[in-house]
Structures are given as C-alpha cells and as structure tokens.
Structure 1
Amino acid sequence: MTGTRWLAEYAWLPDRAEPTADVLIEAEDGRITAVTPLTGAGTPTAGVEVLGDATRLPGLTLPGLANAHSHAFHRALRGRTHGGRGDFWTWRNVMYEVAARLDPDSYLALARAAYAEMALAGITCVGEFHYLHHGPDGTPYADPNAMGAALAEAAAQAGIRLTLLDTCYLTATVDGEPLTGPQRRFGDGDALRWADRASAFTPHGGHTLVGAAVHSVRAVPAEQLATVAGWADRRGAPLHVHLSEQPAENDACRAVHGRTPARLLADHGVLGPGTVAVHATHPTSADVTLLGDTGTGVCLCPTTERDLADGIGPARRLAEAGVALSLGSDSHAVIDLFEEARAVELDERLRTRRRGHFAPAELLAAATVAGHAALGWRDAGRIAVGDRADLVTVRLDSARTAGVPPVGAFFAATAADVASVVVDGRQVVADGRHLRVDVPRELRTAIEAVTR
C-alpha cells in the first residue's frame, strides 16, 4: 500500500475537547504517519494548490467507530418484533426462530450485509458475540467453526475488522437446565470442549482477532467460569459477558448462588482489566464499585436496551467508578453509534431530570478508542501517529447537521450523514455509498432467505 494524504476540514484529535480545523493526515501501509493542523501554524491552509494531492474530506473527520457488541443474525429481526406487547423473553422466542434457520452460507450472506451496513454508519471494527456454533440439532458441522469462519469472511468482504468473541453457552438457566430446541446449536457440552473448539479456529488475514465470551451466568455453570476466563487470559484475548441485563437474571442468581451475577463472576476470576461486561443495566451499588475496582469495562447498548424494555443502566455512576464505557448496537434495532452515544447522555437526563452528564469528548471516546480497546485493537480509535488509518467523515451540510458546530456532531448527526469511511488506509465508503456491497439489496435478499 502506498502513502496517502487526506485534508480534513475538521478532525477530532486525541485529548481535544472539540474538533480542530484544517488537519492534514498522512498514512502509509495502513498506519497514520503524520497529523498536521494547518490553520494558524504558519503553513498553507486548506484551499491552496500545494495540497492538491491530498484527498479533501469536507465535514468532520472522526477516528473509526467501534461497535463493541453485535449479534449479526439479529439484524433479520428489525421491524418484526414490535407488533405486540411483551418483554425480552417474548422477543427472545422470535430470535430463536431465526437462529434455527441459519447455516454457514446464509449466515455469511446476512452478516456480510449487516457488516456493510455498519461500514456505512462509520463502524470500522465490530465485536461479534458469537454463540451460533453448530447445526440446528446441535451436531457440529464438518468444520466445527464453520459459522465463525462465515463471520470472519463476512467482515472481510464488508471491509471492516472483526473481533470474534467465541461464546461459551452451556445451560439454559442459572440452575443448570439443559439446552433445548434452537439453543442446542449454541452448546459445546462443557467448557473444556468449548475451549478445544475455540482454540482450533485460526482466521485468515489480519482483519480478525479471536476473543472469548461467557454468555451469562444463566449459560455457564459457576464451576466452569474459570475455564473460559483462563482461556482468554492465557491468550491475552478480550473476554466479554452479558451482565445483569434483566432483573430476573439477578433474582435467579441470588436464589441459586446467594450473590449477584457480578459478585459470582468476580469470585470465579471473570472480571478484570481484560473483561467487558455488556449491558450492566441492573447492577447494585456494590456491583458498580466492584466493576470499577477490578478494572472491568462496560459496553452499553442503549437502543437495544430501550427496544427490549430492559431499562436504563447507571452510565454516569459507572464512569465515576472508573469503568471504561464502550458502545454496541447489539440486536441492530438501530445501527447508528451516534444514536447510541447521545442516548448515553439523554437516558441519564430521563433518569435524573438533569442535563449535562457526559461531555462530547467522553461520548467520542466511548464510540472510538474505548470500543477498540474493548475489542483488543489498542492501536485504533485515535487520529494519531502510529494508529491505524481509520477515518470517518460526517457531513456538516445535511438537513440534520447544517448550522451545527462540529463539536455537536454526536447530538445532531445520524449514520445517514457518514460520507466517507477509510479502514486501515483503504476507502470502503465514498459519497455515502459502500464501494463493494449493494447494502439495501443484499440485506433484503439475506433477510428474506431466513424469515419467509
């Protein structure tokens, strides 16, 4: 890959409270080699001839966005689960119907389209919480990691990076009821067999990392939690876990184990600096302190949490406890990290009836550098020398953003305002269009194949 130069009308640089005007960004072999603010530096400004070889990026250029929690096949549920009343548990039944229909080929098609939609939204890296491992009756495919390989290939074709969070999912309830129906394809029997299968997966290319996940305290017996945590620790791999998404989960865990899910996970070595708890919607005050003291991160998924009527997590209290916050689109009711980011602030306003809980730079960090770190890509998420050349440019002249100062992007822009996306120095989206995938057509075709 040869050197490339971009001239950003505005760029949000690290440790800045707001964007900087007229920034020249240079990269080689997918890495940023120079970042030069031009205005007021005694050097030519954006419009002069000497910069004619630089690609102009009109609008606001951000680091690549990181979607730290995804279930790709849930994209097929959008708009199909809203016709009646219910809660997470009734929604889950519809989700299982889709899960039962997927095979490696249809999963590749659906995930490719979903990941390409993410690219259109400015997402340059996704964390796939992957538990759809085996055939419909639980029998492994000839390649036991065929479904994971389909996801890795889908990300490559969509032009984004992937952290495959291979998920251990063994039981249906906290008290150990066996997997039945569509859940059978999630299970490996026990944590050691999960570890053997996960260890055998070696993705091709440099765009995929493999991490681990404990689905939840419902799905992994307490005595097997340490096996999953140890697997991740030995590899220096990220470890994610659904935590306290539902009050029913907390109640069941207390009934069986006499403690909260967070305390149970801590007691078995799951929490720590390499771990991200997803949701953490209903932690106790002691849980919040525990997450902060252990250095555990939290991935918030506000659009899914509101779609499923889960509740509002204590984002500000978590941040004040020292918890690094990241963002995920989870069920893909919406794929828009601008919406996820502003919901972190706006949901706090609903809870407290006060404004001003998170500064714009904090929301930017959650959507970028913290998300990449949560997924094991610690060299991404900043427009800085040495980092990956991931650049997302947002229009400032749309009906939503016209007249909005650049610092207000996370409170005004939507995914539809993303004009350009560069991943590892390669253009993936230009003029708001994916360069490889006809996203609406492929989404329609892939979803029809698993829902009709």
Structure 2
Amino acid sequence: MSSFWCESAWLDGGPVRGVRVESTNGRTTSVTREPRPLDGDRELRGLVFPGFANAHSHAFHRGLRGRTHADGGSFWTWRTAVYALAGRLDPDGYRELATAAFTEMVLAGWTAVGEFHYLHHRPDGTPYDDPNAFALALRDAARTAGIRLTLLDTLYLTSAPGKPPLAEQRRFSDGTAQAWAARVRAIPTDEFFRVGVAAHSVRAVGPADLTVVAETGWDLGVPVHVHLSEQPAENEACRQAYGCTPTELLDRAGALSPALTVVHANHVTDADVALLGARQVSVAACPTTEADLGDGVGRNRALADAGAVLALGTDQHAVVDPFLETRGLEAAARLGSLRRGVFDPAELVAALTTGGHRSLGLEGGSIVVGQPCDLVAVDTDSVRTAGSDPAQVPMTATAQDVTDVVVAGEFRVRGGQHETVPRERVAEILRSLT
C-alpha cells in the first residue's frame, strides 16, 4: 500500500485543501480529508491534479522540433519534413526517439498517451520479420518512460481519394483494410499497453474501409480515432470525391459514436457540429500544434455545447505542456468569439483528465476510489503561479511547475527529476537526430 498527503488536490472540479490518498496495487482505495500528513505518508506539495491524458501524439514528430519553424510554407510543405524523418527511422531508432518523447511527457505531467501510429513497415512497404516491430518499440519506450500507452494503430491506404500511396507513404500501408485488421489483432496488450484503432483521414481511407475500421474497433471493444477536417483542402477533396463533408462521410460509414475521437475538427460546418455532438464523439484538440501549423481556429465551444466531449493532445510536440494546451484552447476560443472566459478552469482540467481518458478508452482522470492512482503535483509558489487563485492555477502554471508525478501509486517524477531516465539522456537522444 502507498499513501500520499496532498497539500491541496483537485476534487470535483476544484481545489480542496488537505487530502490523503491511499492506493493498493496501483489503484486508489481511500480519499479522505486530513489537515496534516500521517506517519508514512509521502507528501505532495502545491496543488495535486489527477493524471493528465494526452489524447493525440505522433511520437516521431518530436524529432522535428526547432527544425521547421522558420521555413514558412504551409501544413502541406511541413509534411515533406515529416516524411523525410519517417523514412530514416527503423524500430530501434524509433524506440529511442519515443523514449525521449514519452519521458518529456511524463516530466510535464502526462500519465497516459494515445499514440496515433501509422509508421508500420520498411520504407518499401514490406513488413519486418515481426510486422508489429514498430508497435512493440513504442510499447518498450512507454514502459521505460513510465507512461500508460494506448496505441492507436492506424489504417493508411491512399494518398488521396482513389489514388495509391506516394513512395514515401508506402511504409504506412498494409495494402488492404483486412490485412491491417489482422495485424492489429496480433498485437499483445497488458495493463499499461492498450491497443485502439484509427483511420488516418478520409484522404487516406475510403468509405468502405472506414466501416472496417469502425467495426474492428467495436468488435475489439477499443477506441476509434481519425483526423478530421484539419485543413480546408481535406474538406474540398472529400466534397469532390464523395459529395459531402468528412463528417458526413464518417456518418455514412457508420463510424460516428461515443467510441470515436475526431482529431482537430478545425473546419467543420454547423451541420457537422450538430452531428458530432448528437453522436457524443470525443474531439481531440491540439492547440499548440494547430497554431504552429496554421491550421486555423477550431469550434470547440460549439462542439462541447452540442454534446461532444473535449480532450487535448500534443500532436507534433512543438510544445509538450498540458497547461499550454489548456490555455491554447481558451485563447483560440477568445480570438474567435471576442470574449474572455469561454471555458472555465474546471472545463479545461476536465479536457486534460476525464476527457482524455475517455478518448483513449482508459479508466482514470479523477482522484476517486477505484480508479488508477495517477497524480500530478504542481508548485503553486513558483514565479509563474505565486499569488494565483488556486482554482485558476490551470491558467498560470506550465510544465516547469510540475514537481512530482505518480503513476499506479509509484513515483515516476520526484522533485522535477524522472526516476529512471535522466534529462541528459533525453537531450542526448534528440541531439543524435541532427
């Protein structure tokens, strides 16, 4: 059994002083009010949040940080750098890069991550001896970093509707949806490594195969993800090919359900918003990436009001900071609405916690009995947070203020230091990419 005394903890949508949390076998068994720690308690100072769930990650994109920001261009020109990096990776190299990316996440307070995984085979498209070599490399990286991983194994078949993959996309493709589904079913899972499914986008997966992805997810009882309306060009290509928006195409394929997460949804119509809300889908917003790539301002307030559930992700990892994602969500909404306080702090924390866990098909996101004991302690007396109303710390803190991270009742970060992966090792891995 482990016990933690929290100076303050985020319970029921706000901070509560003096909270004691007990856990057994990684699960919370008791949450009580205690003004002071008891003998044997491990103290967590500041404000303690439930673990944060990163709903959308491409781990290998971390290798592009600081190398594309001054190049200008657009999302589509940036994509050429993504393909160039992907073409250089093998499973061993990806294990190293993902270890660095996942360790940075844990240091920032993310205790779970959804890895939108489409890098499957050799550059010419032929499988490795183990066709899931990349998936298992990601599993190993997550174990080393100490983060819960939902691997969202992604179907990728076309470069555009009806067109074969480009040469640089061949390693993403299994050839058919049926071959992809058979490979996914062979991936071994455990308590900390779950498998979900994804269609890359309506650009890369046609209507019949979207149905295969959705049915595979339902059959396995796992979450389903898809990039949706990130760019206007995606919407226009879908209209030309199928006579409808990407959201409408997903609906025709029977894919819209509470098990589905749509990523971005920046350029959705009023009808799309109503449809996504009515089906109670999750929406994974990635504000720092969307700003970096010039994706546009999403309609997240309207989506939430319609019935969708918001989650947050770091996507390409231009920034790995849960609090900057929350503030990015609010800032974009302010810019679009010309008013402040579009989301209150409790809604922003919910997107980081309960919303993210729902998106990934995971338990967690609250400090309550029966859930995994995942905790994130934030310094409330730093140069950034000192003087903040405790309820507004989500609007002032950054990843630098995360002091301690607990996953399954065990410290992964203590005093700002990762328990098993030194910061110097993370830097060494990332420097090796140059």
Q: In the alignment, is the contact (CA less than 8 A) between 1:339 and 1:410 conserved in 2? A: no
Q: TM-score, normalised by structure 1?
A: 0.94
Q: TM-score, normalised by structure 2?
A: 0.98
Which residue of 429, 432, 441 corresponds with 2:413? 429
Matched, 1:35 2:31: yes
> SS state of the match for residue 164, structure 1?
strand
Q: In the alignment, is the contact (CA less than 8 A) between 1:64 and 1:122 conserved in 2? A: yes
| d(CA) in 2 for partners of 1:235, 1:383 | 28
Which residue of 238, 243, 246 corresponds with 2:223? 238
Deviations 1:223-271 (A, max 9, x none): 2111111100011100000000000000010011000000001100111
Within-5 A mapping of 1:63-78: 63-78=50-65
Deviations 1:114-156 (A, max 9, x none): 1010000000000000000001111110000000000011101
| d(CA) in 1 for partners of 2:164, 2:259 | 29
Within-5 A mapping of 1:327-366: 327-366=312-351
Aligned to 1:8: 6
Mark the runs of 5 or more structure 2 residues left unpaired by the alignment.
Answer: none
| d(CA) in 2 for partners of 1:308, 1:190 | 30
Q: In the alignment, is the contact (CA less than 8 A) between 1:106 and 1:446 conserved in 2? A: no
Aligned to 2:49: 62
| d(CA) in 2 for partners of 1:445, 1:340 | 26
RMSD of aligned Cα (Å): 1.0
One-letter amino acid of the counterpart of residue 164, structure 2:
P
Which residue of 83, 97, 103 corresponds with 1:96? 83
> SS state of the match for residue 252, structure 1?
helix
| d(CA) in 2 for partners of 1:307, 1:236 | 34
What is the Cα deviation at residue 52 of structure 1? 2.8
Aligned to 1:20: 16
Q: In the alignment, is the contact (CA less than 8 A) between 2:56 and 2:116 conserved in 1? A: yes
> SS state of the match for residue 28, structure 2?
strand
| d(CA) in 2 for partners of 1:406, 1:264 | 44
What is the Cα deviation at residue 82 of structure 1? 1.2
What is the Cα deviation at residue 345 of structure 1? 1.1
| d(CA) in 2 for partners of 1:288, 1:325 | 13
> SS state of the match for residue 349, structure 1?
helix
Aligned to 2:428: 445
Deviations 1:419-444 (A, max 9, x none): 000001111000001010023x3333
One-letter amino acid of the counterpart of residue 405, structure 2:
V
Aligned to 1:402: 386
What is the Cα deviation at residue 7 of structure 1? 0.8
One-letter amino acid of the counterpart of residue 443, structure 1:
V
Matched, 1:107 2:94: yes
What is the Cα deviation at residue 405 of structure 1? 2.1
Which residue of 370, 377, 380 corresponds with 2:364? 380
| d(CA) in 2 for partners of 1:384, 1:230 | 33
Aligned to 1:301: 286
Aligned to 1:228: 213
What is the Cα deviation at residue 314 of structure 1? 0.5
Which residue of 255, 261, 266 corresponds with 1:276? 261
Within-5 A mapping of 1:403-418: 403-418=387-402
What is the Cα deviation at residue 180 of structure 1? 2.0
Deviations 1:46-103 (A, max 9, x none): 26xxx13211111000000000000000000001001221110010001111000000
| d(CA) in 1 for partners of 2:425, 2:200 | 29
What is the Cα deviation at residue 195 of structure 1? 0.5
One-letter amino acid of the counterpart of residue 429, structure 1:
V
| d(CA) in 2 for partners of 1:448, 1:105 | 16
One-letter amino acid of the counterpart of residue 133, structure 1:
H
Q: In the alignment, is the contact (CA less than 8 A) between 1:159 and 1:423 conserved in 2? A: yes
State how many pairs are aligned.
434
| d(CA) in 1 for partners of 2:327, 2:431 | 32
What is the Cα deviation at residue 351 of structure 1? 1.2
Aligned to 2:167: 181
| d(CA) in 2 for partners of 1:197, 1:258 | 32
One-letter amino acid of the counterpart of residue 46, structure 1:
R
> SS state of the match for residue 100, structure 1?
helix
Within-5 A mapping of 1:254-293: 254-293=239-278
What is the Cα deviation at residue 446 of structure 1? 2.6
Q: In the alignment, is the contact (CA less than 8 A) between 1:109 and 1:442 conserved in 2? A: no
Please identify, of 401-410 and 276-285, the stretch whose mean Cα deviation from structure 2 is larger. 401-410
Q: In the alignment, is the contact (CA less than 8 A) between 1:301 and 1:330 conserved in 2? A: yes
Aligned to 2:201: 216
| d(CA) in 1 for partners of 2:410, 2:165 | 43
| d(CA) in 1 for partners of 2:75, 2:428 | 27
Aligned to 1:46: 36
Aligned to 1:42: none
What is the Cα deviation at residue 194 of structure 1? 0.6
Q: In the alignment, is the contact (CA less than 8 A) between 1:73 and 1:110 conserved in 2? A: yes
| d(CA) in 1 for partners of 2:290, 2:343 | 19
Q: In the alignment, is the contact (CA less than 8 A) between 2:100 and 2:430 conserved in 1? A: no
Q: In the alignment, is the contact (CA less than 8 A) between 2:103 and 2:426 conserved in 1? A: no
Aligned-residue identity in percent: 53
